[in-house]
Amino acid sequence: MTAGQIRPIANSVRSGAARAVDVLNGYLARIDAREAEINAFNLVLHDEARERAEVIDAEVAAGRDPGVLAGVPIALKDNMCTRGVPTTCSSKILQDWRPPYDATVVQRLAAAGAVIVGKTNLDEFAMGSSTENSAFGPTRNPLDVTRVPGGSSGGSAAAVAAGFAAGSLGSDTGGSIRQPAALCGVVGVKPTYGTVSRLGLVAFASSLDQIGPFTTDVADAALLLEAIAGHDPGDSTSIPKPFPSLEPSLTRGVEGLRIGRITDLPGGADADVQARVDAAFDALAAAGATIVDVTIPAFTYGLTAYYLIAPAEASSNLARYDGVRYGMRVAAADTNAMYSATRSAGFGPEVRRRIMLGTYALSAGYYDAYYGKALKVRRLMAHDFDAAYADVDVVLTPASPSVAFPFGSKTSDPLAMYLCDTYTIPSNLTGHPAMSVPFGTGADGLPVGVQVLAPALGEATMFAVAAELERAAGAAQ
């Protein structure tokens, strides 16, 4: 599925050429047919979505414009708060929790006329790269159900790839949008940190988390991102600037742009993946861009910095799940015992592992050696990219070292799973934008995603390059 869906739907619903209810029914029919196999959702909102679609149709009938996403079925990663609707983070500890408020992105989707079709599955608390860490069972890759969809936003990626939604939102802390987008053959964007409000996104690692879109094409990604981006006074780290229109980027081309090739990029990408990235450089050069070699010496240390910083923040962010105010409680004789019983039963193994790793990295006597050092490596990473961006406009890398892998192939070795994030992590550390664009196929005909990285607030250039790659990939077919 490469043709965009969001624009055509919104255009026809706004013009009255199509009814939102009929559009929705088409998506719900695909969900009903295949969700049992894919398990993209923790919750499908059949009734709520229909009611919402009817409201959109009524607005159009009354001569009002419901907005740029009028009638567009959107799936939400189940770590974004939806008022009165369960928000579980695919964790037993939040299994029955219904937030008393909506995330900012949920409010913005509503204001733009979108229809929320359901809450998608994820690695518990967004910790993982395969969606195998969900307390509610793994999501299967719609392109090959014996393989993972990637993670942690595997449900959101699979939902778009399977045609369960025209677009979806995920969150990306170390690659959790870009890697599953690559593995499912869809577009996935991690915007500049501070572009999309985190208010109502259940925190994993606060200084790294960003919400972004999954779509079937680059133009749809631009539209969905524009709808959710922009300053939110409820998020102190939100950038106090209007988000620019990405429309001009879609047709700009890459004439005169300088595309960076990192010569000291850590190895580990499979040959089939590397071949597609090489082809991407060639395609961009053919379209008028210049390929420039750059070095990012700190790139190779990104994994270590990330796997100290993210668990450290997570260990603190997840301490609130204590059985006192909401969520699961396991009864015990005293409060301390209740805490441990609840948290041990409520969290899965990967979450427990990262909480312990993060607690250790912050604890007395180890802070300087681990967390403190990781923060310095983070600074080096930012310096190295700043230096590179003096010479180039964007940088290209693989989004994932491999195509979609079979279930269970990395679950016994946490480190092997962590290596999935090698190429995506640096952008979270720097806060810079990055996106994955499908660019042909690799082993077993499975999709390969090329990652486009840009400097802070460099979304316009990033989308111009992504759009060019999309055109080149389409032309090659």
Partner 1 sequence: MSDRITSEVVAKVARLSRLDLDDAELAAATAQLGDMLDHFADIDALDLSSVEPMTQPFALVNVMRDDVEQPTLDRDEVLLAAPDPVDGRFGVPPILGIEP
Partner 2 sequence: MSAAPWMHEGFEMVVGLEVHVELATATKLFSGSPNRFGDEPNTNIDPVTLGLPGALPVLNRQAVELAMRIGLALGCTVQECVFARKNYFYPDMPKAYQISQYDRPLNVDGRLDLPDGSSVGVERAHLEEDTGKSTHIGGSGRIHGSEGSLIDFNRAGVPLVEIVSRPDISSPDQARLYAAELRAILVAVGASDARMEEGSMRVDANVSVRRPGEPLGTRCEIKNVNSVRSLGRAIDYEARRQVALITAGESIRQETRHWDEADGRTHTLRTKEDADDYRYFPEPDLVPVCPDAAWIDAVRASLPPLPAQRRQQLAEATGQAIDGEAVMTIVERGQDAYVHAVIAAGGAGERAVIHVKEAFAEAGIDPALPAATLASLIAMETGGQLTATQAKTVLADLIAQPNGDPVAIAAERGFEAMASDELEAMVDAAIAADPDAWEKFCAGEGKAMGALVGHVMKASRGQADGKVVTALLQARRPT
- HEC profile of 31-75: HHHHHHHHCCEEEECHHHHHHHHHHHHHHHHCCCCCCCCCCCEEE
Residue 234 interacting with partner 2 (CB under 8 A): yes
Q: Which of residues 22-81 bind partner 1 (CB under 8 A)?
A: none
Nearest Cα residue to 296 out of 390, 164, 163, 399: 390
Residue 230 interacting with partner 1 (CB under 8 A): no
Residue 356 interaction partner, one of partner 1, partner 2, Mg ion, none, beta carbon < 5-8 Å per kind: partner 1
- Quick one: DSSP state of residue 328? -
Q: Is the backbone of residue 120 left (phi > 0), alpha (psi -120 to 50) or beta?
A: beta
Residue showing tokens 């409060």: 335
Which member of 337, 387, 443, 476 binds partner 1 (CB under 8 A)?
Answer: 337
Amino acid identity, residue 133?
Answer: N
Residue 206 interacting with partner 2 (CB under 8 A): yes
SS3 77: strand
Q: Is 152 a catalytic residue?
A: yes
Taking the C-alpha atoms of residue 351 and residue 357, their distance in angstroms, rounded to an integer, is 10
Q: Which of residues 18-57 bind Mg ion (CB under 5 A)?
A: 39, 41
Residue 39 interaction partner, one of partner 2, Mg ion, partner 1, none, beta carbon < 5-8 Å per kind: Mg ion
Residue 320 interaction partner, one of partner 2, Mg ion, partner 1, none, beta carbon < 5-8 Å per kind: partner 2
Residue showing tokens 């133009």: 219
Residue 320 interacting with partner 1 (CB under 8 A): no
The rounded Cα 341 to chain-centroid distance in angstroms is 32
Taking the C-alpha atoms of residue 477 and residue 344, their distance in angstroms, rounded to an integer, is 51
Catalytic residue among 129, 176, 238, 400: 176
Taking the C-alpha atoms of residue 283 and residue 277, their distance in angstroms, rounded to an integer, is 10
Q: Is 119 a catalytic residue?
A: no
Residue 241 interacting with partner 2 (CB under 8 A): no
Residue 92 interacting with partner 1 (CB under 8 A): no
Taking the C-alpha atoms of residue 427 and residue 418, their distance in angstroms, rounded to an integer, is 16
Q: Which of residues 340-359 bind partner 2 (CB under 8 A)?
A: 359
CA-CA distances (angstroms) from residue 322 to 99, 288, 344, 357? 16, 56, 10, 19
Nearest Cα residue to 103 out of 179, 175, 169: 169
- Interface with partner 2 (CB under 8 A), residue total 43
- Residue nearer to partner 1 on the CB measure, 239 or 450: 239
Q: Is 373 a catalytic residue?
A: no
Q: Draw the binding track, 353-372, toward partner 1 (x: CB under 8 A; -: no contact).
A: x-xxx-xx--x-----xx-x
Residue 95 interacting with partner 1 (CB under 8 A): no
Encode 112-134: b = buried (16+ Cβ within 10 Å), e = exposed.
bbbbbbbbbbbbbbbbbbbbbbb
- Please state the φ and ψ torsions of residue 250, each to the nearest 5 degrees: -65, -25
- Residue nearer to partner 1 on the CB measure, 214 or 371: 371
Residue 376 interacting with partner 1 (CB under 8 A): yes
Which member of 334, 390, 475, 477 binds partner 1 (CB under 8 A)?
Answer: 334
**Which residues contribute to the site for partner 1 (CB under 8 A)?**
96-98, 100-101, 193-194, 207, 233, 236-237, 239-240, 300-301, 304-305, 307-308, 315, 319, 322-329, 331-341, 343-344, 347, 352-353, 355-357, 359-360, 363, 369-370, 372-380, 382, 414-415, 430-432, 456
Q: Which residues bind partner 2 (CB under 8 A)?
A: 80-81, 87, 89, 94, 97, 99-101, 103, 198-203, 205-207, 233-237, 312-313, 315-316, 319-320, 322, 324-326, 335-336, 339, 359, 362-364, 367, 371
Catalytic (active-site) positions:
77, 152, 176
* Interacting residues with Mg ion (CB under 5 A): 39, 41
